[in-house]
Amino acid sequence: MSFISRLLGTGPDPREAVRPLWHRVIELAREPAFYNECEVADTVAGRFDLVTAVLCTIMVRVEASDMRAQSALLAELFVEDMDGQLREFGVNDVVMGKRMGKLMSVLGGRLGAYRGALVDRDHARLTQAVARNVTFREGVDENQYAPAIADRLLALAQRLDEISDADLLKAKAVA
């Protein structure tokens, strides 16, 4: 796509190629088992934490292939979605940039926290990262439930490894 096409918005949006995968990230993060069995707080913070955990798991898989550009596109869709969510909560333009910068920083930090454990398939490290980065229900010991979330993320990572790049982008067989 040429610079003029991008500037004028006349060319196709490259994010459309990964939008099905982004929608699947959201679906996976909303699985009731996370909230019912793993005791994640069914709050804005808890849901955000799961979105970032699932997104990081998928981004690690995408980065391990020849699709690094698609990883950046997924991050852009994350920003777009979070921008819309914040606006629905009434965040105005004056503070939007600061909030979005913070959210991108959080995503980057979590990607760093999860990446090594996911690549190495290190359950103990992933459990520690989950315990630090997921909001659980009030009064719940995160150390009791973090291993179950780590199990789910590692199982997702394993399933993602078995999917072709093309099917991954189309969110086919991403269970």
Q: Does residue 6 sit within a domain?
A: no
| Rounded mean pLDDT, 78-107 | 67
pLDDT at site 125: 97
Structural domain count of the chain: 1
| Interatomic CA distance for residues 15 and 59, integer angstroms | 14
Q: Which domain holds residue 155?
A: 13-168
Residue 99 lies inside a defined structural domain of this protein: yes
pLDDT by residue (tens digit) across 14-26? 778 888 998 999 9
Whether 1 maps to a domain, the answer reads: no
Whether 131 is in a domain gets the answer yes
Q: Is position 160 within any domain?
A: yes
With 70 as the cut, is the pLDDT of residue 109 above it? Answer: yes
| pLDDT for residue 145 | 96
175 within some domain: no
Residue 8 lies in a domain: no
24-45 pLDDT, tens digit per residue, is 999 999 999 999 999 999 998 8
Name residue, tokens 């196709």: 12
